[in-house]
Amino acid sequence: MTVKTEVPYSPFPGMDPYTEARSLWKGIHTQLIGELSTHQLPPLLAPAYFVDAEPSLQIHSQRDIYPDIQIMTTLSPSPSLAAGSGLAVAEPTATILTFPEDDEDEEEESAIFIRQAGSEKLVTVIEIISYSNKTAGSEKRARYLLKRRELLSSGVHLVEVDLLRWGRRVVSVLPHQPYHILVSRADEQPHSNVWSFSLADAIPDTPLPLTAPDEHVPLRLQAAYTTIYQARGFRYRLDYQKEPEPPLTEAQRAFIQTQLAAAGVRS
């Protein structure tokens, strides 16, 4: 009989820096959006609000988010194979050309859109910042910043979650910490509140801006992140003997060594 054991937590109190690797972050980004929009937020917001995962601000609004295909011909029935020559399969309905998406579209991402029930009025957008958002000079960053400006002037609240140490910040004037959650309320523009934290801190529960009087809903990012960390078995999969990417400061390197030694995963 197999005994089910509990999957261990991360050796770190908040962000595990090893999960910031480019090879992992796209999947974590997608799962954070899914966990928040499907499990965490709906029970807190229903029935006053709907929560959806939709294309990120970095995606062209007029662009179809599905792969481009073109139907070229409709097939006429093909002659049947001789009896016994092979297993029967269904005939295709049409022949199509499927064009590969260009490089800019390969990392298409989602964000969380919160709408008021009944009117479907967009109230809040939650963006999990990606590597492309933080790549200086990239088209995706430029598109994101443009749509961001439009959103902030449209009366919609914006929450930006930056859990990546690497890259150029979306907002340049921020406290000297590796991680940030920026809450931009439409009724407080141009001022925004920032929650900044380090590797030694848990991801803080920040207030989710909504429509008054519904102003007491927390955004529990740490709970969502921990769920994903455990579901993907990162404690067993990550190589804690190596240094994580992106590069570390000396203080971060020392803290990581202390944490991993205390957890018994590095000597």
CATH number at residue 169: 3.90.1570
**Size of the chain in residues:** 267
Residue 85 resides in a domain: no
Domain holding 222, by residue range, is 17-58+105-238
For residue 30, name the pLDDT band (cuts at 50, 70, 90): very high
Output the pLDDT for position 64.
38
The answer, yes or no, to whether residue 78 has pLDDT greater than 50, is: no
pLDDT in tens, 155-179: 999 999 999 999 999 988 899 999 9
Confidence of residue 97 (pLDDT cuts 50, 70, 90): low
**Residue 6, pLDDT score:** 64
Q: What is the mean predicted confidence (pLDDT) over 103-116?
A: 74
Domain-located, residue 165: yes
The residue that leads in pLDDT, 228 or 96, is 228
Amino acid residing at 81: L
- Is residue 244 predicted with pLDDT exceeding 50? yes
Please state the domain count of the chain: 1
Residue 1 within any structural domain of the chain: no
Q: At residue 139, does pLDDT exceed 70? A: yes
- Given the DSSP bridges, would you call strands 122-128 and 157-162 parallel, antiparallel or unpaired? parallel
Strand, helix or coil at 19?
helix
247 falls within a domain: no
What is the rounded CA–CA span in Å between residue 222 and residue 13? Answer: 9
Is pLDDT at 63 greater than 70 in this prediction? no
